[in-house]
Amino acid sequence: MSLPVHDPIPAPYRVAAIQFEPKMFAKEANIETLLALCDEAAANGARLIVTPEMATTGYCWASRAEVAPEVEPIPGPTTDRFAALAARRGCWIVVSLPEVAPATGVYYNSAVLIGPHGIEGLYRKTHSYISEPKWAKDGDLGLPVFDTPLGRIAMTICMDASFPETTRIPAVNGADVICFPTNWLSEKAPSPTWMARALESGVWFISANRWGAERGVQFDGGSCVIAPDGTVQSSLDVGDGIVYGEVDIARGRDKRPRPGRSDDLLADRRPELYGNLTLNAYLWNAREFHGLDDLRPLPDGRRSRVAVAQFAPAAGDIAANLARIDAALAESGAELLVAPELAISGQVRDRDEAARLAEPMDGPIVARLREIAARRGAFVVAGLVERDGDRLFNTAALVGPDGLIGRYRKTHLADEDRAWATPGDEGLLTFDLPFGRIGILIGYDALFPEAARSLALDGADLIACPSLLNWPPVQPWDATAIPLPSYLDAGRTDDHFHLWRERGRENNTYIAFANGGAPWMGWSGVFGATPEDEPRQEAVVHGAAPGTATLTIDTTNLDARATTNPARAKDLVRMRMPIWYDPLQAPTDERTASLSGAREPVASGARPVGN
């Protein structure tokens, strides 16, 4: 049976994330404390309550034999106790525990959604962290969405959030709320990764993290409720406690990230371009895979300087804009410079203005850009209005000392583009330069995690992102009392969340984000390819003033049998589970077109939904 197209939208309701430090070998005491905290949350009006990952038993188990006394079936004794509480309080509770499947004896790291009438859904962690393979099998239930009176609820667990697919697929299948039991570590929390998962798909994200240390592993705390725009509604830094928030399902179903605009984070997807998202491109040595049959080997790579130029392109003043690009190259001494979106033409307001400034790729604008690149002995990515017959494109040209290397036509169009531009028709492209393989995304493109992922799977060492954006904003965060690794700043930081940093981390790909300065938000930067548990490598222009940021990137080590260079090895990309990712490249239909207004999705299936 299918869900109705216009199912009733629940009224706003209170939710709670439980923060708790469980103790190993103290299961009964852990469960008693969790039951008490959940009962308190329900007594205070919480209708949906999320507890931390493996909170009934602790987490750092060394083997199947060690965890064997702790595992339970679902349903089982522990879920029965939480079901009794949910029935008595009329609430829904997400509990995470080590599960055993009685028919096979296989163990899983699992989360169960329990409602007033019993178990509503089961999820098994899909993407294992380093400790799970000591005892647990990767989840085999996919990424389901469960229809409830509180809206459509999905669950993901801890490391799952490092992979955009684990939130994106439930969102495409109609999820309103992501419940996130976690044992997150090695960075200040709320993690910017959690914030990225919420805002890129416009979902509520309820993160219940543990705190404290276990077997020498320090956990981050920072449990929180994150709104669909990626802002933290409420949080708790350290200690056992309850974080309350209010979920408004109607707000989440409107996938327009900013009022008064028609941009839509689901309807504007381009699934026809995402054909490699179900491929395991990094199961093999990168040199051997990409060089198979000598069809398109990766460049050998080297250390090189990459810069971004931040300025506000002057509308229609091509000479002034080219001069600024030239000056930025001279200042940075970079081998590659990325300039803002439409850096040569300036932003245009309508088709008439765009047509007046438009030129073909073999016109004088690109020729002048080529002269700059040749004189400076460098490569440049810069944007212009491109004319191709009667069509106009928002295009980024890639030029080098020897001329035009290629172009990328913006594929995901925002409101400003739809007034004049044709959607890009050449796909998501990568280009080979002496120092590595680069992809290009323009502005709004980067809000779609599928786009950067596609380029990473194609071997991109670096993604250039010329942009003119004021959203999503860079967000600060206060100090934490958690003892973080020495390479991390535990104090207040003004750029705790930066979406383009997250795009680099999740794809093990350098990101060169060149944004417009005021009146745009600025915050341009070159971000490293390292994940969240390693020291950051980046250079950032703080704020919206004009400036440049330059970083030396490293794309060497390709010749090693087992490369240790993150940009080349792409460990996180290799650990994806694409067996579950089919919905990301399925053709857009009513279900994926929009979750707002008269364009409500049809989520197929009964319970679970869309799996």
Q: Using one digit for the tens of pLDDT, what is the confidence trace for 209-252? A: 999 999 999 999 999 999 999 999 999 999 999 999 999 999 99
Q: How far apart are CA 567 and CA 548, in angstroms?
A: 23
Contact in structure between 493 and 484 (CB atoms under 8 Å): no
Condensed to tens digits (0 to 9), the pLDDT of residues 380-401 reads 999 999 999 999 999 999 999 9
What tokens were used for 133? 């393979």
User: Which stretches of 150-270 are DSSP H helices?
Assistant: 165-172, 192-201, 249-253
171 alpha carbon, distance to own chain's centre? 13
Residue 607's pLDDT is 38
Q: Determine which one of 53, 165, 187, 386 is catalytic.
A: 53
602 burial (CB, 10 Å; 0-12 / 13-18 / 19+) is middle
Specify whether 125 is catalytic. Answer: yes
pLDDT above 70: percentage of residues in the chain: 95
Q: How far apart are CA 330 and CA 141, in angstroms?
A: 55
Q: How far apart are CA 314 and CA 345, in angstroms?
A: 8
SS3 sequence of 235-252: EECCCCEEEEEEECHHHH
Mean pLDDT of the 581-585 span: 96
Q: List the one residue out of 375, 423, 391, 431 whose CA is nearest residue 407.
A: 431
Residue of 491 and 594 predicted with greater confidence: 491
Q: List the one residue out of 544, 315, 299 whose CA is nearest residue 430.
A: 299
Residue 592's pLDDT is 44
CA torsion 219→221→222→225, rounded to 10°? 110
Q: Which pTM value belongs to this model?
A: 0.94
Name the helix (H) or strand (E) containing 556: none
Q: Give the type of residue at 240.
A: D
Condensed to tens digits (0 to 9), the pLDDT of residues 273-300 reads 999 999 999 998 888 889 888 889 999 9
Contact in structure between 58 and 24 (CB atoms under 8 Å): yes
| DSSP character string of 107-161 | EEEEEEEEETTEEEEEEE--S--TTGGGT-PPP-S-S-EEEETTEEEEE--GGGG
487 pLDDT higher than 90: no
Condensed to tens digits (0 to 9), the pLDDT of residues 331-372 reads 999 999 999 999 999 999 999 999 999 999 999 999 999 999
Residue 73 burial (CB count, 10 A): 13
Specify whether 134 is catalytic. Answer: no
Q: Determine which one of 125, 188, 255, 410 is catalytic.
A: 125
Q: How far is CA 517 from CA 192, 308, 520, 598, in A?
A: 23, 12, 5, 37
pLDDT band (50, 70, 90) for residue 114: very high
Query: Average pLDDT, whole number, for the chain?
Result: 93
Mean pLDDT of the 101-121 span: 97
Residue 589's pLDDT is 62
| Fold of the CATH domain 302-578 | Nitrilase/N-carbamoyl-D-aminoacid amidohydrolase (3.60.110)
Q: How far apart are CA 548 and CA 307, in angstroms?
A: 7
Query: Do 13-255+581-599 and 302-578 have matching folds?
Result: yes
Condensed to tens digits (0 to 9), the pLDDT of residues 35-50 reads 999 999 999 999 999 9
Least confident of 172-176, 338-342, 553-557, 575-579: 553-557
Residue of 309 and 565 predicted with greater confidence: 309
Residue of 534 and 516 predicted with greater confidence: 516
Condensed to tens digits (0 to 9), the pLDDT of residues 567-577 reads 999 999 999 99
Q: Domain ranges in the chain? A: 13-255+581-599, 302-578
In the chain, the largest separation of any two C-alpha atoms, in whole Å, equals 76
Q: List the one residue out of 266, 197, 267, 257 whose CA is nearest residue 470.
A: 257
Specify whether 60 is catalytic. Answer: no
SS3 sequence of 431-474: EEECCEEEEECCHHHHHCHHHHHHHHHCCCCEEEEECCCCCCCC
Contact in structure between 97 and 57 (CB atoms under 8 Å): yes
What tokens were used for 469? 């954006």
Mean pLDDT of the 158-178 span: 98
Residue with tokens 């260079």: 565
| Residue 598: DSSP 8-state | G
Q: How far apart are CA 58 and CA 99, in angstroms?
A: 13
| Fold of the CATH domain 13-255+581-599 | Nitrilase/N-carbamoyl-D-aminoacid amidohydrolase (3.60.110)
Residue 561's pLDDT is 72
Q: How far apart are CA 308 and CA 328, in angstroms?
A: 8
Q: How far apart are CA 263 and CA 186, in angstroms?
A: 35
Condensed to tens digits (0 to 9), the pLDDT of residues 396-448 reads 999 999 999 999 999 999 999 999 999 999 999 999 999 999 999 999 999 99
Residue of 561 and 29 predicted with greater confidence: 29
Residue 516's pLDDT is 98
Mean pLDDT of the 93-103 span: 98
